[in-house]
Copies of this chain bind each other. A is one copy, B any other.
């Protein structure tokens, strides 16, 4: 009784497999072009993979190149509904009728589906736009209507491709709460670029890069202990990959980074990562001498304000220091500096 996915789309270089338990919400993270929308398209039946097998509750939806007979259940018959990256509201229907489209197609009465649609419009906060045509909506309003339409379809498996895109800060927290409530009992695949969405809405995270799964697991776990560069980026953590040599991480550039290895203890020669938050980094202009700390020489690329602090970025790493400290150090893009991190602040684990 789960959703099982396994498919290869050769010309997009997307080849991966995963399962989802009933009622589980999985966040799909990954850089642009990683293959997230491709996975959703295959699941919704909009794209036939080269080889693959997709089943929902034991029922095969797409089978190709397996020992079973090839099979492709048409999109409308899958009980899978998809909110695509573009809103694509039906231009000839009012906003209300757009949202009522799903219930109506499922066979609900006209008045019943309208009532349901009305309810969903209220949830996303655009009930007063019910009678408008899609062409008369702003970008964010259209996005909200599309979210309402996808939710109203009430499928067995719900696929959401960046549902919070184009929304303003005033509505995001409220909609996030709505989704949190609505998605709780459903089986959902949620594509997002936002770690907070992943943390709050998803039980599990799957990180894709270059068409492959590079990291996955419990949402908070994955975001706290990222194993891939992209996951670290989304979690806002610094990551230095290397090999475990002589109780330290040896990077490809030949640098040694000391940290405290977690459980299980890595073995000599294992590929490992050193991970630490920007707030654990102190910035100096000169290398501080003779202490058990890591000092990495870096070139600063830019400075950003970040929640009252200043984030100092280099090509690979970032540090968070007070505005005062930044002013005292007289940092500017192009400056050379040292990032100093206490070994105890660095987590090291195998990948």
Chain B proximity mask over A186-224: 1 for CB below 8 Å, otherwise 0: 000000010110011000000000000000000010000
Query: Within residues 64 to 109 of chain A, which ones have a CB less than 8 A from any CB in chain B?
Result: 85-86
Check if B169 sits within 8 Å of A305, measured CB to CB. no
A271 contacts which chain B residues (CB < 8 A)? Answer: none
Check if B37 sits within 8 Å of A170, measured CB to CB. no
Listed stretches A15-23, A160-168, A241-249; interface member: A160-168
Q: In the complex where A86-B86, A200-B304, A308-B277 touch, is A170 in contact with B233 (Cβ < 8 A)?
A: yes
List A residues at the B interface (Cβ < 8 Å): 30-34, 36-37, 85-86, 137-141, 143-144, 161-162, 165-171, 173, 177, 180, 193, 195-196, 199-200, 220, 229-230, 233-234, 236, 277, 279, 301-302, 304-308, 313
List 30 A–B pairs whose Cβ atoms lie within 8 Å, in order of A's numbering: A31-B168, A32-B140, A32-B141, A32-B143, A32-B144, A32-B171, A33-B137, A33-B138, A33-B140, A33-B141, A37-B138, A85-B166, A86-B86, A139-B162, A162-B166, A169-B230, A169-B233, A170-B229, A170-B233, A173-B304, A173-B313, A177-B301, A180-B302, A196-B304, A196-B306, A199-B305, A200-B304, A200-B305, A220-B305, A236-B307
